Amino acid sequence: MKQVSRRCARHLISPAIQARVKLKTRGPRTGAMMDLNSVKTRLQEKESELLRFITTLEQNARESGTSEVEDPIDRVISSEGKAGSFREATLEHRTLVEVQEAMQRLEQGTYGYCLDCGRPIEPVRLQAVPWAAYCLADQEKHDQAERESESSPDLQTAE
């Protein structure tokens, strides 16, 4: 009987059976085993959690209407609460986009590689933040650039 390679044999299995079998693969050039089905499940669970949370935040912000007996201070507090809820929803939405992009990378076969340098993302980092798009060094560069861009408008208005 002719020997069939593991890669070819996988394509001989029906899609229904493939869906039930946990396929494990080696992580990006690290040699560590990475269960892609587990990663996909974690990303899907995070996506659902974020969608529920964002919906709740936005709904609460919209429903917190003003009462008829509010004085100006109550209106300010209410407005600040709404603004805070919308800010939090915006941050959660950014994470949601990152999670969805990670799921796309997983489908494309590029999951686990840094978008900037192309090197493998540290396995510990992917375990902690499965939607990480950058290796730690490049993430730090992005964080620094973001901090600088947030502080620069203040410097311009002070002049």
> Which tens digits make up the pLDDT trace of 43-63?
999 999 999 988 887 787 777
pLDDT of residue 131: 96
Q: Which of 110, 108, 93, 103 is nearest to 130 (CA)?
A: 103
| Domain parsing of the chain, residue ranges | 7-158
Q: Which H/E stretch holds residue 33?
A: strand 33-35
Q: Which CATH number fits domain 7-158: 1.10.3130.10, 1.20.120.910, 1.10.3470.10, 1.10.10.200?
A: 1.20.120.910
34 close to 118: Cβ distance less than 8 angstroms? no
User: What pLDDT score was predicted for residue 7?
Assistant: 36
Q: Provide the pLDDT confidence category of residue 64 given band limits of 50, 70 and 90.
A: low
Backbone angles phi, psi at 22, to 5 degrees: -80, 115
| Residue 13 confidence (pLDDT) above 70 | no
Name the band, by pLDDT with cuts 50, 70 and 90, for residue 96.
very high
pLDDT band at 35 (very low <50, low <70, confident <90, very high): confident
pLDDT for 157: 47
In this prediction the pTM is 0.62
**Distance (Å, whole) CA 112 – CA 135:** 9
pLDDT top residue among 56 and 98: 98
